[in-house]
Amino acid sequence: MRAAVVRTFGGPEAVEIAEVAAPEPGAGQVRIKVAAGALNPVDLAVRAGLFGGAGKTIGLGWDVAGTVDAVGVAAAWQVGDEVVALVPGVADPLGAHAEYVVVAADAVAKAPVTVDAVHAGTLPLNGLTAVQALDLLELEPGASLLVTGAAGAVGGFAVQLAARRGLVVTGHARAADEELVRSFGAAHFTAEGVEPGSVDAVLDAAMLGAPALEWVRDGGVFLSTHPGRQPGSVRGVRITAVEVSADGARLAELVGLVDEGALSLRVAETFALQDASKAHARLAEGGLRGRLVLVP
């Protein structure tokens, strides 16, 4: 089968489409015939070597939508099930950007029935990151939350999910994105920032760091979506970061919200798997509203 891999770190040209053996599911695993999977900034970071793994063949891709085509012992899925899953890992020989991928059965959820596989393939990584981040914030209904990068993939999901939890959300993004961010459920919008110490919490999806920390009240909470890059604590602010993990049950909840029309999935453009390097180059250019999706 074909898979997008890197053997040497570098720019988009480092992405190779390799012929590799199709993986076989072990106990408690399923194999998915991939229909689509989003390209995310983490893939660019893996390609550039920010997570290490020099000298290895490393597979790319964390998001998958497709069809179960083989199951291991004690895997509670059936061949033919249409599913989505998170394929976590930054130094594995195979990722989701391939024709087939093997994942733990408990990382899998039924695919949404209201959208196609291309859109479904944008949900797992960014949706789980957003919901797990909100869980870590531990905010009660009525609390004020500012989301940076609110027009982006993680930020957009976070705004929608936070508003459903009864949080008073301020979206931070470029001025041109105000209508979009408000459509996600943000009660307030800013392109500049807010008064220092004026919100209970910040979910920093745009990696603003210390400047965004200043917006949190004394004793509030600041969460980064990039572990290891969060600022140090000041004024009693709790500092934390989300490190996304596969969770099929939680992913199924997100799928339910998609099918209810309560969570929107955005696709900017699709690329054939063989054009993965072109997709990497496009993502690096920035300015996208929605995910790039690779289709085998």
Q: Are residues 165 and 133 in the same domain?
A: yes
**Is 221 in contact with 237 (CB distance < 8 Å)?**
yes
* CB atoms near residue 218 (< 10 Å): 9
Query: Looking at the domain assignment, is residue 97 inside a domain?
Result: yes
> Which positions of the chain have pLDDT values less than 70?
91
* CB atoms near residue 221 (< 10 Å): 21
pLDDT in tens, 148-187: 999 999 999 999 999 999 999 999 999 999 999 999 999 9
Q: Are residues 222 and 286 in the same domain?
A: no
Strand partners, 222: 202, 239
Query: Looking at the domain assignment, is residue 260 inside a domain?
Result: no
Provide the CA 207 distance to its chain's centre, in angstroms: 15
Q: In the numeric block, which tokens belong to residue 289? A: 């509203």
Query: Looking at the domain assignment, is residue 156 inside a domain?
Result: yes
Q: Are residues 18 and 115 in the same domain?
A: yes
Query: Looking at the domain assignment, is residue 251 inside a domain?
Result: no
3-state DSSP assignment of residue 109: strand
pLDDT in tens, 178-234: 999 999 999 999 999 999 999 999 999 999 999 999 999 999 999 999 998 889 899
Angle 256-79-271 from CA coordinates, rounded to 5°? 65
Provide the domain limits for residue 273. 2-123+265-295
Q: Are residues 63 and 148 in the same domain?
A: no
* pLDDT at residue 51, as a whole number: 87
Give the CATH number for residue 230. Answer: 3.40.50.720
